[in-house]
Amino acid sequence: STPILPTDQPPLLHHAVEEAVRLLQAGDVVALPTETVYGLAADALNPQAVAKIFEVKERPTFDPLIVHLADIKMLDLVADIPEEVKKTVARLIERYWPGPLTLLLPKKPCVPDLVTAGLPTVAVRISSHPIFKRVATALNRPIAAPSANRFGAISPTSASAVLAELGGRIPLIVDGGACLHGLESTIIKVTPATPKNLITIVRPGPVTPEDLKLYGRLERMTRTVVDGASEAPGQLASHYAPRTPLRLLSKPSDFTPEEGKRYALMSYRGEEKDGYLDLADFEQVMILSPGNGKLPEAAVRFFYVLRELDKLGVDEIIAEPMLEHGMGVAMMDKLRRASVRPA
């Protein structure tokens, strides 16, 4: 099936980067680690290469891709920054690039329509992952990279998760270990407004609403989309879905097991006290943040835990709700989407 190249020694890293660049130059796809989740990379300016991403992921072409730059100098090549939002965008870039923040900006003509699904905007970010950076710099072209999973499935945060999703379909996986954040980048749009520009969170992620409100008036896009004709294609109602049905509890005490059914629990802290869940009702309990209940720690384990619970073949995965602040906003958004069954 697909080779996984290790990078934990300098000569191995060198070889893996070289192989990845060679494949990308030849118009092929490669799975690469980023600080958020693993990405399925292709040369963003080569429509044939980009088409392979859609084919491999079985992704509908109405769902546009994120373009990753090697450095800030490349921004000019793919996007414009409207004068009215220049200041705000510059401050955000200064603070969060390279990092887990994606900006929607008016696209330049060289960006293929397939990348943006025909939209006038392009999603751009710079990854801070050292391996991704080396590949992007050596290739010296923008890289289109969605999460390296099949469409609608759980995003991969390790090389083995990529293999489970796309093994046999792609020529190479570069193993960069576990992802630092574990959740996809925050996607935002900045629109001119007075006295403060408007920041719309299109997809919540590691850069939190609390972080972003320092840069403009915040608006959270809540509209859930069921078809492709929208401003945020890809923000579909059903997404991140395990094969096992998932139920998000509105409060922990809401759960009563049905006779004869097998359940697994995704627990935030694994607490067991009065009015809470009886952990004995579950065949397996996996805790997102054992011990101290820290949201960033939970985020790193989030997709891993979801993937592991999905392997058990139980009747239902039960998910405890989390606090909706910080990275809890992104995790709750994903749990809501994961609990909607695909049509």
Choosing from 34, 127, 147, 158, the residue that interacts with Mg ion (CB under 5 A) is 147
The stretch among 124-132, 145-153, 251-259, 270-278 that binds Mg ion (CB under 5 A) is: 145-153
Is 122 one of the binding residues for ligand TXA (CB under 6 A)?
A: yes
Give the span between the Cα atoms of 293 and 295, in whole angstroms. 6
Exposed, middle or buried, 259 (CB in 10 Å: 0-12/13-18/19+)?
exposed
3-state secondary structure 193-247: CCCCCEEEEEECCCCCHHHHCCCCEEEECCCCECCCCCCCCCCECCCCCCCCCEE
CA 181 to chain centre: 10
Nearest distance from C-beta of residue 139 to ligand TXA, angstroms: 15
Strand 246-248 with 316-319, pairing: parallel
Which residues, 246 to 275, sit near ligand TXA by CB under 6 A?
none
Q: How many residues bind ligand TXA (CB under 6 A)?
A: 26
Shortest Å distance, C-beta 49 to ligand TXA = 15
> What whole-number distance in Å separates Cα of residue 121 and Cα of residue 119?
5
Is the CB of 85 or the CB of 277 nearer to ligand TXA?
A: 85
Q: Which is nearer to ligand TXA, 66 or 92 (CB)?
A: 66
Contact call for residues 117 and 61 (beta carbons, < 8 A): yes
Residues 53-72 as x/- pattern, contact with ligand TXA by CB under 6 A: ----------xxxx------
- In the list ligand TXA, Mg ion, none, the entry touching 191 (Cβ below 5 to 8 angstroms by class) is none
Between 149 and 200, name the residue whose CB sits nearer to Mg ion. Answer: 149
CA distances from 58 to 63, 71, 147, 173 (A): 11, 30, 12, 18
Q: How far is the CB of 228 from ligand TXA (least distance, A)?
A: 9
200 binds, among ligand TXA, Mg ion, none (CB under 5 to 8 A by kind): none
The overall longest dimension of the chain from CA atoms, in Å, is: 62
Binding segment (CB under 5 A) for Mg ion, from list 119-127, 140-148, 248-256, 297-305: 140-148
Of residues 37 and 173, the one with the C-beta less far from ligand TXA = 37
Q: What whole-number distance in Å separates Cα of residue 140 and Cα of residue 254? A: 53
Binding site for Mg ion (CB under 5 A): 147
Q: Which residues bind ligand TXA (CB under 6 A)?
A: 34, 36-37, 39, 63-66, 102, 104, 116, 119, 121-123, 145-147, 184-185, 187, 202, 232-235
